[in-house]
Amino acid sequence: MSTTQLRNIGPKSAAWLRQVGLRTPEDLVAAGTVAAFLKVRRAGFKPSLNLLYALEGALLDCHWHDVPEARRQQLLADLEAATAAQPPARGLQVAGPVTTAWHARAEDDDADAGTDDDARERED
């Protein structure tokens, strides 16, 4: 049996799972819902949370809408914890602090470019 025959797993999700090495229901059970979702995401795909719920539904053999709300909240908490524990993805630049630099204009640039104080000094 392949993952394409699991409940809630469509052709696209099955292809993602195959590409990350989860080819059978046993592979999915061994990995677990959150780890399987993270494997797909870390492989560069852009899964929505529906995949997380679909994987859980596949393991429970129920429709993903029928996954209890308490279990959904637990899955989200587990996903947050697992994501925070992972190192940043390779090849992506880690963002640094953003700063704004203001540069003074040269006096000879534009006569109208000065501040109000500069304009008053010129009138005198």
Distances (CA, A) of 61 to 42, 54, 81, 88, 96: 26, 10, 25, 34, 44
Q: Is there a domain that residue 43 lies in?
A: yes
- Identify whether 99 is part of a domain: no
Render pLDDT for 1-32 as a digit per residue (tens, 0 to 9). 566 678 999 999 999 999 999 999 999 999 99
Q: What is the CATH number of the domain that holds 29?
A: 1.10.150.20
Give me the domain span that covers residue 62.
3-85
**Token pair recorded at residue 86:** 């992972």
Which pTM was predicted? 0.67
For residues 41-68, give the mean pLDDT: 93
Which structure tokens are listed for 41? 């995401």
Q: Rounded to whole angstroms, how far apart are CA atoms 7 and 58?
A: 5
Q: What is the arithmetic mean of pLDDT over 58-66? A: 92
**Domain tally, the chain:** 1
Question: Tokens standing for 90?
Answer: 């390779």
pLDDT at 14: 92
- What average pLDDT does the chain have? 83
Contact 33, 52 (CB under 8 A): yes
Asked, for residue 102, whether it belongs to a domain, the answer is no
Is residue 9 within 8 Å of residue 2, measured between CB atoms? no
Would 98 be classed as within a structural domain? Answer: no
C-alpha 120/C-alpha 47 separation (Å) is 61
- Give the mean model confidence (pLDDT) for residues 113-119: 55
Nearest to 14 by CA among 4, 2, 25: 4
47 in a domain, yes or no? yes
Rounded to the nearest 10°, the torsion over CA 75, 77, 79, 83 is 180
DSSP 40-82: HHHTT----HHHHHHHHHHHHTS-GGGS-HHHHHHHHHHHHHH
